[in-house]
């Protein structure tokens, strides 16, 4: 059965149920040949929907779940390829930086238009464990006192940017929850096509 067949059968079943109810109302609840025929027709439609209809919907659902699993596998594969490519990019940049350092050059441009300049990459992360050690117990206690039930956990969430902004406005307060890692790298410029 197709989806259209199923929806048509559902509509037909709904009509048959309604017609059966109307026939019983008109006959004062009495069973007649007409009500028996309507009930038999409704039973046949129910049988069709709960056999062929269910099988068709089951096959459709299975194909969608299989497609979802396939897409997830492809997404995971692409994510691994991206991570590997990022690792290769970092390796090439480190190699170029080494060339610049050992040749005591700050900036270089190749004959194909690629240029590189020494740079420092800075990555700031939140020291979540330190933040939790300092504030999680107090936040949990305050939340419980405010009526938060025990089956709900409290978690602290922030970003390095938010802490930096707060620290800038409050004399450096909060900077102890930040870790900054500086890495020597290069800035890469590609050749541009003329317009």
* Structural domain spans, the chain: 3-78, 106-189
pLDDT tens column, 47-87: 999 999 999 999 999 999 999 999 999 999 999 999 999 99
What is the predicted pLDDT for the residue at 193? Answer: 85
Neighbours of 53 (CB within 10 A): 20
pLDDT interval class at 160 (50, 70, 90)? very high
What is the predicted pLDDT for the residue at 170? Answer: 95
State how far the alpha carbon of 139 is from the alpha carbons of 36, 66, 147, 163, in Å.
68, 44, 13, 17
Contact at 8 Å (CB) between 154 and 148? yes
CA distance 76 to 158: 28
Chain mean pLDDT for the chain: 95
What is the predicted pLDDT for the residue at 104? Answer: 96
State how far the alpha carbon of 75 is from the alpha carbons of 35, 69, 89, 139, in Å.
56, 10, 21, 38
CA distance 156 to 151: 17
pLDDT interval class at 195 (50, 70, 90)? confident
pLDDT tens column, 135-156: 999 999 999 999 999 999 999 9
């Amino acid at each position: 059965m197709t989806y259209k067949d199923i929806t048509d059968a559902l509509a037909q079943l709904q009509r048959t149920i309604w017609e059966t109810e109307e026939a019983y109302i008109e006959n004062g609840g009495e069973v007649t040949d007409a009500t028996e025929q309507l009930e038999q027709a409704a039973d046949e439609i129910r049988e069709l929907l709960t056999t062929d209809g269910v099988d068709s919907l089951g096959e459709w659902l299975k194909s969608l779940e299989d497609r979802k699993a396939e897409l997830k596998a492809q997404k995971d594969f692409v994510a691994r390829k991206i991570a590997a490519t990022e690792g290769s990019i970092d390796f090439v940049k480190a190699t170029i930086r080494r060339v610049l350092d050992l040749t005591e050059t700050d900036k270089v441009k190749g004959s194909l238009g690629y240029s590189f300049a020494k740079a420092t990459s800075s990555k700031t992360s939140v020291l979540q464990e330190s933040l939790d050690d300092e504030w999680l117990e107090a936040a949990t206690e305050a939340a419980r006192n405010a009526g938060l039930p025990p089956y709900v956990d409290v978690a602290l969430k922030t970003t390095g940017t938010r802490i930096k902004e707060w620290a800038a406005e409050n004399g450096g307060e909060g900077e102890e929850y930040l870790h900054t890692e500086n890495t020597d790298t290069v800035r890469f410029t590609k050749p541009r096509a003329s317009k």
